[in-house]
Chain A
Amino acid sequence: MPHLDPDRLVDLALFDSSADPEESVHLDECTGCQAEISALQQVSEIGKETEEVRDLPAPPESVWAGIAAATGVTGQPAVPADDVVRPLRPSANGRRRRRPPRWLPPFMLATAAAVLAVVGTLTVVQLTTGRPPAAEVTARATLNPLTASSARGDAEVLGGDRLRVGASGLPLTTGYYEVWLLNPDDTTKMQSLGSLPANAEAELPIPPGTDLRTYRLVDVSVEPHDGNSAHSGDSLLRGTLTN
């Protein structure tokens, strides 16, 4: 028989299901499939142990004091999470597209991205729990790269008026990433939702009155800092919203 299907390999490694006789015959003689299962089993074992290291406490500040003394570096603690979270909340008028302020130095953007990466999960929890009623997912999309790349992502419409977007593996850029809703029937028609931090999640307000049946194609582009608000034409990820 041919090599085992990738889903079946995961079944055998992660879910402890047992191989049927035909599969056993193949596995006995195929070192490739054996190696795949063995690697997936190890990853699965390690994965099951990760629960205990999800929210590790930071070292006491005295450790940083020692590092600072030994290196001569005097860094301040990262920007409080609140300062990073605030720009992600829907603005009062909810209409304007949001962009990072042009004057923000790259380091600040990096700080924001770093803090978001660390507190990403926590932030989303805070954002969603702080806004009653609990956000209901009304549509979702899996975002796939347009060219061969490891970039990937997903998007969810929350409560009909916000789009939560998560992406990872985005290519390095000196510009920034921007999230759009496109009309797939006429891709010159689009609506910008705002910017997306590198390898983090963002919750962006969807302008009121936006018809998500028409503007149903989620697009993540890379934009240069050129002062031009139009789509760069350089799309990284796309996916269609479905209910």
Chain B
Amino acid sequence: MKYILISALIMTTLSGCATATRSDFTVLSKKNVNSVNIKVSRDMMKGNTRGEDCQHIVFGIPFSGPATFDEALDRSLESQHGNILLNAIVEHSWYYIFVPIYGRDCWKIEGVAYDTYK
């Protein structure tokens, strides 16, 4: 009985969970865009960009504020000084080792940055 309990405890401690969800967007922005006359052309292109915001949880204690989609998008736009992302891929990944020795919650955004005010 003792061994069963110990092995059950080990099994649950070693068990974990990882999952991810992917979203595809044709247009994505959180910055000001000229909505009166919006037009995107090739010369406005700033290049491929990537932004990430993660929260690490160790023994149930979060080591930063909650990871947000907003922050990841901001980082991806800021890195290329753009104001709009085209063909954006948003990935939300979730990973935990049993309740929760270690956990990670991440938002990642990739896309092509454009500056429509250029």
Q: Are chains A and B native binding partners rather than an unrelated pairing? A: no
Q: Report which A residues bind B (CB closer than 8 A).
A: none
